[in-house]
Structures are given as C-alpha cells and as structure tokens.
Structure 1
Amino acid sequence: MFDAIKKFISPSANPDIEKAFAYQNTYLPTLWLLGKTGAGKSSLIQTITGDSDVEVGNGFEPCTMTSHAYSYPKATPLLRFLDTRGLSEANYDPTEDIDVSAQQGHALLIIAKAEEPEQRDVINALKKIKKQGSIKQILIVHTAVKQLSVDEQIKTVQYNQQQLEKTWGNEIPYVEVDFELANGDTFGISTLKDQLTELLPIIQQFNNEQQHAGTESANFQKLKTEVLWYAGSAGAADAIPAVGLVAVPSIQAKMLHSLANQYGITWDKRAFGEFISTLGSGFALQYASKLGIRQLVKLIPAYGQTVGSASAAVISFASTYAIGRAACKYMYHKSKGETVSNKDMQDIYKDALANIKEVAKSETR
C-alpha cells in the first residue's frame, strides 16, 4: 500500500493516467443547447463560464454529423456544450446527439427568444428527442424578455412555454432572462445559475462572483478549474477496472507538482513530508489503506463493477480535490515564507471534502 504514497511523491510515466484523462474527456458533463440561431446560446455560454470570448461557432468542433461541441476550459475541460447544427433540416436525426449528451450528467436546454413564437424547427427536434426517451433533465430558457412590454412578455413567454410543454407532454421548468439590457445590466441571471446548478452541480464552480475571504482564497480560485480537472481524472481512473490503484496516486502527484510550479516552490520529499504532516499523523496510513480497500472492493463480482466502482470514483474525485485545495493553502504560505497551523490545514481539507461531495457524485455517476 505504501507504493501508493511513493507514487504520490514522484509521479512516473504511466499509460493508465492517459486512459483516465481520455475517459474523463469522453464522459464530460454535457449541456445540450437546442435553439434557433440568435436565440442567445452564446450569451448563455458566456454567462455560465464567465468568458466573454466564448461563442457558438468560435472554438466549437464537429462532434456528430449534425452537431458541434465545445469543451471548457480548453486545457482542462470540466464541461461540454453541444450545439445542434442540423436543427432546421427535415431529416434531422437526434440519435447521435442524444448519445453524446447522455454519456454522463446531461441536460437539455431549450433556448427560446421571447419575441419569436415561430419555433417549428425546435418543436420538430423536440418531438424526436422525446420519442428517443433518453433525456430526463430539461430546462427552457426564455431570452430577451425585457425587450418587450410587460404584457407582451407575459403573453409571448406563456405561448412559447405552452407549445413546448405540449410537445414534451409534461410541464417543463423554465427561467426568464435578459443577457443585456439597455443600461448594460442583466435580468434573471442568478435564477438561471441556480437552475443550472441543480441540473449539473459542476456549474456552480464557474461562478466568478464569489466573495473571497482573503488573498489566498482568491488565488485558489485561479487554480480551481485545474484542481477540479485532476479530481475528475482521478475519479475517471477509479471508474476503469484495475486502474485506480496505480493511476490515482500518480494523477494526484502530477497535480501537486503542477501546483508547486505555479506557486514557484520546489516540490520534493521534504516539502511533501511537511505538507502531509500538516494533515495529521494518520493521513498517509489512512490514505494508503483506503485506496487499497477501494480497489479490492472493485474486484468483487457484480457488486464491485457497479457500486464498488461508483463509490471509489466519488471518493477519489472528492479526496483529490480536497488534497489540491489543502495543497494550495500550504503552497501559498510556503511561497511567502509563512507557516500555517495543522488545524487550519486539516479544517480546509475537511471543508473542501464536504463542499465538493455533490459535485463528485454528479461527475462520477
């Protein structure tokens, strides 16, 4: 079991790591955007990611015969957007798009501009999607609602909502938004983010409007997506039979080396030993023991391939994130020539573990 700790310190070339990275990229949580051109899909993506340069068509790559996909962030992707290009084609077949969006935590977002009651192409596509029966999570986003008078807004939103719900056969949750008002303000964005977070918890991690307690916390936000990416890779490794025991510590080690480079500190056995000691005397033993037990459980016929693998993936995702969060705090203070108390380190590790739990579950299901 202590081989895991050795790999934790010094990552080696390991083909299983590449398998985990590839697996994670294949099963990224996907938001499938269904809407007419000009409905506000680019604005929605910018709102979710906080990146004003992201646009539908800019950076999107062919994914299926009729759709393009964009993974964000580009270098360490955590979320994929799927945009249907063949929506207006009479012979549009959504089967491939459904397969892509349903590979992991998925959601279908119908983007409907309030002033456009003509939604025939969207409705025709929705009929085919409904017939397939694979999509369970769905949200209607009514856009540009404040470009109309109050009476017109109520009337047009209600009309579009009713015709889409009639097609789907059930009530569909919805939000009303306006991404750009005349005074440069917005409308309904917080409600939109709340609704999207319920569909895919990872979206909450893109919220750049959080208030940070101090410089260290603010600095972590800049590295958060990278830590989450490594966490996703560790979870993916544990979802692949007979890979986790070797790959998870190696992935975590690569994360620690990468973070150390960004904080400008040397990451060696001494630094690693100091870091581990701040997490408590039993951390290393517990880490190695739990990792070994998780891999043994995965070998149990039937149970290990379902419940065992799923549980192991959640634990590896969450623990990798917590290790990364704690490491950032340790490295920040070390780069300043400061010390940090063991209690503070253990508290931040435990808090990170608890706060990422729901995200870990949704990312590894």
Structure 2
Amino acid sequence: MRFGERKAWRDQWRQLRTALLKPSVDERDLAASLAAARAKLPIPVLWLIGKTQAGKTSIIRALTGSDRAEIGSGFQPCTRHARLYDFPAEMPVVRFLDTRGLGEITYDPDEDIRFAEAQAHLLLAVMKVADQRQEAVFDVLRAVRRRHPEWPVLIAQTGLHELYAPVSDHPVPYPFASEPWPDRVPADLRRALIAQRRALPALSGSAPVSWVAIDLTQPDDGYEPADYGLEALWQGIEQVSPLGLKTQLLGDDGVRDLYARTAHLQIVGHALAAAGIGAVPIVDLVGVAAVQAKLLHALGALYRQTWDRRTTAQFLGLLGAGVATGLLAHWFGRSAIKLIPVWGQTVGAVVGAGSGGATTYALGKAAVYFLARRQDGLEVDPTRLRQVYAEALARGARVIQDRARANQR
C-alpha cells in the first residue's frame, strides 16, 4: 500500500472512531430522516380491542416485559377513544393500538375503526371469560371483517382463574392447545370458554379466527405461573401474522436476562430504523451512521461503559479490517475508500452481505458480546467477536426481510 493510500485509510479510520466517540448529529435532521424511514418501513401495529378491564394492558406487559407503570405513562392519545403505545419509545419495534370504550353507552366505534384499520397489521380481540356479554366486541369484529375479509383474527380469553374452584391453581400442563380438553379443566371454566366461542357470529371472509386461553396475573396474586398461556399466545400471534414479532421482541433465544433482552430491543429498533433510512436520501452522518452511533452509545450506557478513545479503538481493531471497511462504506460512502484498492475490493462483499439495517443489527450484537465480556472482566476473543458479527448479519437481514414482507401484504 502506497503512502497516499495508507494516509487515506488512517484518515477514514480516525473519522470512524471520532464519529463513534462524539457523533455530530442534528437531532431535527435525524428526526426528519427517521420519519421518512418509517414511511418506507412502517412500524407494525398490534390493534387490541376489548372492554375495559379485559386484560389488554396485561397482554402488552407480557409481550414486552415492561411494567404497568411504564405502559400507563407511555400511551399517547390518537383519537377520542384510542391511544398508541410505542415500544421501545425511542426506536420502536412495535406499536400497540388500544381501542377503549367498547360496551359503554356513549361510545361510537366508527372513528376508531377508520383510524385503526389503516394502521393495524394484526387484530387481537381480548375478552374476559367470565363476562359473556361481548356484543360490542363482536360488532367491531364484524365491521372490520366486512371491510377486510382477508384479515385473520386472534381472540384471547382472559381471567381464567376467576372461574376456578376456591383454593385451586392453573391446570398444568397447559391443556388448551388442542381439543377435546382434559378433565382437569374446571367445569365452570370449560362451559364459559365454550359459550363465549359459540356466541361469536360467523365472520365474513376466508381468513381464520383463532382462540387462545390465557391468564396473565401479577406475582402477588398467587397463581403459578403468572404468565399462564403466554407461549400459546405467542404461537397464536406467529400463526396468524407474518411480522415475526416474537423474534424481534425476544430474540432467537427467547427470554433471557434483563441486560440481554433490553439490549436486543435496542438493537432491533435501531436496525429497523437504519433499514428504513437506507431507502431515502441522506446527507453526511444523518442516517445509518447516526443510528449506529446512537445504538452503540445506548448499549454502552446499558452496560455502564463509555466508548472512550481506547475502548473504541480496541473494539474496531478486534472486529478486523474487513468489518471496519464495511462500516466505512456505510458511514462515508464507497467513494470514501475508493483510493484504497486492497480494502476497496472487499467493500462490495461486505456491504452486499447486509443492508444498513442488517449491519446495524450485527454491529449491535458484536458490541453486546464485547461489552458483556468487559463487564465480567473476561478477555474478548476476536475470533468469537467476528463470528458473532457474521452470524448476526444474517439474522439481521432476516429480521429486515420479515418486516418488509409484512408491509407488502
């Protein structure tokens, strides 16, 4: 490599490290870019309909792992009777739409239906099993299916323990996955579940209507497990929806420790934002680079570590020149490294292996491995770090592809 090429490489490496340490981003420009990105790759909306106290908030808590206080303060009104909850708030992976007021005398659902049907990617009706008066919910389901006969419907029957005999617990193992149900299902509960299902009038359209029985309680309620039927709920969601929400919210390995789950949500949210931004014109660091920098700093804060000069240099060095070259291409464009033939030959392969979204996902997963090892006082294995990055690049591409396919439906 000639002197000019070495100098160009050092200059770009220094810019990459500086951008990680002190990202220079105009927040207004970034906000505008994110808004344009979400138009290209909209956030999936899970539309929950049900009467007050049916258990909609408990479902959101169970799916996201957030506590009730956070959910309560996170809802934002969008119509007179509906509200939205973005999760996570800064870089959302999913948006929950909660329609309230069903069953109330003064409630007219038409406005919410018009708003929600333009937003929703998945319709989830929630009915407390002890409440057999669900005509208001049935009316909304009929109205939606008349307009969208292709939409599948998932119905969650909640509050099972209200129909248990005194001093009894959940029937285990979970018995509601297939019929006929075994004798250990309490008789009163069995009758109420069947009656509610039979009461639903026939819905227009050929899309399926699926039912799931769940009981999402608080730990101090005394029922074990507290999230009874949660896995069945996830299975129902995955069967009727192409969104891949479970992987996006929990990761490939399911629920893990709090650090890993929080980090995963940050990674997916930023990766999806970067993928959307990659589809619109971006200038300088406002775009994929800004999102990746924000992600790394968010992960550093989570693991109580700072991306100082030494830490950043170590991380980039352990990732290796091939990965760093791909980052340079994403951050500064192919022209930024065109004077470096040796590295420039690898850019097409590195960039082609994953979009800005997939690269963001991989960078985040590699950073988690790096930060977690440092937090535990353990040596960072460069071979393993690069393996984590490579495996995550493929998984990140699948996450982006799943989201894109869902939005084409």
Aligned pair count reads 339
Determine the structure 1 residue equivalent to 2:245: 202
Determine the structure 1 residue equivalent to 2:365: 325
How far has the Cα of 1:183 moved from its partner? Answer: 3.8
Determine the structure 2 residue equivalent to 1:280: 320
1:255 aligns with 2:270: no
How far has the Cα of 1:80 moved from its partner? Answer: 1.6
Query: For 1:136 and 1:290, how far apart are their aligned partners in 2?
Result: 38
Matched letter for residue 12 of structure 1 = S
Query: For 2:275 and 2:149, how far apart are their aligned partners in 1?
Result: 24
Q: Which segment is superposed worse, 112-121 or 147-156?
A: 147-156
TM-score (norm 2): 0.70
Superposition map of 1:1-365 within 5 A:
6=15, 9-10=18-19, 11-14=23-26, 16-23=29-36, 27-54=42-69, 58-88=73-103, 89-90=107-108, 92-93=110-111, 94-101=113-120, 106-133=121-148, 136-148=151-163, 150-164=186-200, 166-170=202-206, 171-180=208-217, 183-186=222-225, 187-198=228-239, 199=241, 200-207=243-250, 219-242=259-282, 247-267=287-307, 271-289=311-329, 315-334=355-374, 338-364=378-404, 365=407
- CA-to-partner distance for each residue in 1:148-186, whole Å, 9 max, x for gaps? 363343333233334436134443122111223974224
Query: For 2:70 and 2:292, how far apart are their aligned partners in 1?
Result: 33
Q: Verify the 8 A CA contact 2:74 2:85 in the aligned structure 1.
A: yes
Query: For 2:384 and 2:71, how far apart are their aligned partners in 1?
Result: 43
Q: Verify the 8 A CA contact 1:46 1:55 in the aligned structure 2.
A: no
User: Gaps spanning 5+ residues in structure 2: where?
Assistant: 1-7, 165-185, 335-350
Structure-2 change in CA distance of 1:128 and 1:211 (3 Å): closer
Query: For 1:330 and 1:71, how far apart are their aligned partners in 2?
Result: 29
Structure-2 change in CA distance of 1:358 and 1:20 (3 Å): same
Displacement over 6 Å in runs of 4+:
1-5
Please tell me whether Structure 1 or Structure 2 has the larger radius of gyration of its CA atoms: 2
Query: For 2:314 and 2:288, how far apart are their aligned partners in 1?
Result: 21
Give 3-state SS (helix, strand or coil) of 1:185's partner.
Answer: coil
Structure-2 change in CA distance of 1:259 and 1:147 (3 Å): closer
- CA-to-partner distance for each residue in 1:218-264, whole Å, 9 max, x for gaps? 64434332222222221221233456985112221232234345545
Structure-2 change in CA distance of 1:236 and 1:54 (3 Å): farther
Structure-2 change in CA distance of 1:116 and 1:357 (3 Å): farther
User: Gaps spanning 5+ residues in structure 1: where?
Assistant: 294-310
Query: For 1:159 and 1:73, how far apart are their aligned partners in 2?
Result: 38
TM-score (norm 1): 0.77
How far has the Cα of 1:107 moved from its partner? Answer: 0.8
Structure-2 change in CA distance of 1:234 and 1:243 (3 Å): farther
- CA-to-partner distance for each residue in 1:62-83, whole Å, 9 max, x for gaps? 1124311112233443222111
Matched letter for residue 200 of structure 2 = L
Structure-2 change in CA distance of 1:113 and 1:56 (3 Å): farther
Identity %: 28
Matched letter for residue 176 of structure 1 = A
Q: Verify the 8 A CA contact 2:146 2:205 in the aligned structure 1.
A: no
Query: For 2:123 and 2:109, how far apart are their aligned partners in 1?
Result: 20
Query: For 2:139 and 2:308, how far apart are their aligned partners in 1?
Result: 59
Q: Verify the 8 A CA contact 2:362 2:389 in the aligned structure 1.
A: yes
- CA-to-partner distance for each residue in 1:47-103, whole Å, 9 max, x for gaps? 1122332587654221124311112233443222111125343463411121222xx
Matched letter for residue 45 of structure 2 = T
Give 3-state SS (helix, strand or coil) of 2:86's partner.
Answer: strand
